[in-house]
Amino acid sequence: MEALLRWAAELGVSDSPAPPDPSTTSSSCLGRSLVVADFPDAGGRGFSAVRDLRRGELVLRVPHAALLTSDRIMADDPNIAACVGAHRPRLSNVQRLIVCLLAEVGKGKSSSWYLYLSQLPSYYTILATFNDFEIEALQVDDAIWVAQKALSAIRSEWEEATTLMQELDFKPKLLMFKTWLWAFATVSSRTLHVAWDDAGCLCPIGDLFNYAAPDDDISSEEQDTEETMKCHDKKEMLEEVNFSCSSERLTDGGYEDSKAYCLYARKMYRKGEQVLLGYGTYTNLELFEYYGFLLDKNPNEKLYIELDLELCTIGTWPKDSLYIQPNGHPSFALSCALRLWTTPANRRKAFSHQIYSGSMLSVENELEVMKWLGNKCVETLQQLPTTVEFDGSLIQFLHNLQNSANWRVDVDQSRFQQEFAVFRRFHGMNLDCTHNQLTVRLLRSLERWELAVRWRCSYKRALTKCILYCKRVIHELSLQ
Ligand SMILES: C[S@@+](CC[C@H](N)C(=O)[O-])C[C@H]1O[C@@H](n2cnc3c(N)ncnc32)[C@H](O)[C@@H]1O
């Protein structure tokens, strides 16, 4: 990592809030605002604040010269440029970036990006890396479909790019689908948006920020004000106010006219705190698909249940606005659509104004809506093969098993022998194998299995909360 930080400093990457001084060379691009640290429960490797950071403060600047894009790789290598250029119209920008990335990987130590490439994760847990057993563990059709669709799309993209990679003389290992998947996951989980290339750019050092959902910071303005009020030194207080006024920004960063990617503190951070970036607004299934992780508390989470086609098309609400929130409440659009759907067809027009404004129509209508929604959630949960309680203890078991000194004893003493028998069969594990330690391949599979169970468990929790919510509303309405 030190070598990477030195290399990045030479390219002008800096976490200094002051403008770069070309006469000084630093042995590291970090240390003024950020430092690389490990956050085992919040993304692993990430950034910690080395001092208190103010909201809106520039915390990292990555100049254009340090950004890895397909244009940049092609500009530096005429052979890659010629081959990729010839295939250009048939390939998407993401395919092009993947091929360029793999071409650099193939160069080994002679690549000018070697220090960066060697610090990339060796494996990923995005949904497309899941095998059939792990996909099955998602249980919910929607999620299974998302995983299968992602994998087949990536496979087709790989097939389309194979001729180009052969022309570039890629070694057999680089031509494998497994390697393409690794590169795809690198691009999916690490690129930052740039206006000129919809594949985005790989941003050395800038891609070490872990994620926090954008909505997490709703209270940060209040927090900032509170902190400002606590400043005893009036001068400090005035500076703070001026800073906030001039530097207020809604995004965490972007490519700027100064020809650099600039990243800003989204809120006030205390020294030692993890500094996070909001990559965008994602549900957990989307985070899972693009980034390979889940948030225990995701303010943007949306849970979908199967709805009749008529219900989905009855109003003007888009289908993806008809969901259940993690607290179990139906979304605004789902409540409205249900009220409209349960209204007799000949009376819908008369009530439409009231319905679109989100008002309850009548006690009878609301009771019908709540009964329907509660029953639908009960039915959905009954169709899934395991319960929330079972999933909760399976998550704990899978988690512990990854640190087990003797996995066979742990499995034999657990209530999950049946599940594990399927896992062993899937991986072709010899039933009487004598190793106490699981292989790396199996440990990774356990990690993905645990993620799948975590996702389905939080889905079931939301539906269970929705049932309780419906019961509560029914009870309250019945008292009226
Ligand atoms: C842009 S990278 C961030 C740096 C990364 N931790 C590293 O070591 O290179 C994005 C990846 O970090 C992990 N990650 C980021 N935020 C996370 C979070 N809040 N919880 C769990 N994993 C997270 C995920 O694996 C994600 O795909």
Q: Are 456 and 374 in contact (CB under 8 A)?
A: no
Residue 434 confidence class, pLDDT cut points 50, 70, 90? low
Q: Is the dihedral of CA 218, 222, 228, 232 positive or negative?
A: negative
Residues near ligand 1 (Cβ within 6 A): 42-46, 121, 189-190, 207-211, 291-293
Distance from C-alpha of 164 to C-alpha of 91, rounded to nearest angstrom: 10
Residue with the bigger pLDDT between 34 and 247: it is 34
Q: Residue 218: pLDDT band by 50, 70, 90 thresholds?
A: very low
Looking only at the bridges linking them, the beta strands covering 274-277 and 210-211 are parallel
Residue identifier of the C-alpha nearest atom 4 of ligand 1: 208
Q: How far is the CA of 233 from the centre of ligand 1 (A)?
A: 38
pLDDT confidence bin for 192, thresholds 50/70/90:
very high
Rounded to the nearest integer, the mean pLDDT of the chain is: 90
pTM comes to 0.91
Average pLDDT over residues 115-133: 97
How would you classify the pairing of strands 191-194 and 260-264?
unpaired
Question: How many beta carbons lie within 10 A of that of residue 344, not counting itself?
Answer: 7
What is the SS3 string spanning 158-169?
HHHHHHHHHHCC
What is the identity of the amino acid at 244?
S
Query: Domains in the chain, ordered, with CATH?
Result: 2-66+208-277 (no CATH), 70-202 (no CATH), 302-480 (3.90.1420)
Measure 278 CA to ligand 1 centroid, in angstroms.
Answer: 11
- For the cut 50, the answer to whether the pLDDT of residue 298 exceeds it is yes
> Is the pLDDT assigned to residue 397 strictly greater than 80?
yes
ipTM of the complex as predicted: 0.99
- Whether the CB-CB separation of 180 and 158 falls below 8 Å is answered with yes
> Would the pLDDT of 300 be above 70?
yes
* pLDDT surpassing 80 at residue 237: no
In this prediction, residue 323 carries a pLDDT of: 98
Residue 211 alpha carbon to ligand 1 centre in Å? 6
Nearest residue (CA) to ligand 1, atom 17: 43
Residue 222 has pLDDT above 70, yes or no: no
How far is the C-alpha of 386 from the C-alpha of 391, rounded, in Å?
7
pLDDT at 24 over 90: no
The confidence score (pLDDT) of residue 241 equals 37
Q: Which residue CA neighbors atom 6 of ligand 1 most closely?
A: 45
Query: For residue 36, what are the β-bridge partners?
Result: 47
Q: Considering Cα of 109, then 113, then 115, then 121, what sign does the dihedral take?
A: negative
Q: Supply the pLDDT for residue 430.
A: 61
Band the pLDDT of 129: cuts 50, 70, 90.
very high
33 within 8 A of 17, measured Cβ to Cβ: yes
Helix, coil or strand: residue 444: helix
pLDDT at 217: 52
pLDDT at 176: 98
Q: Which atom of ligand 1 is nearest to the CA of 190?
A: 1
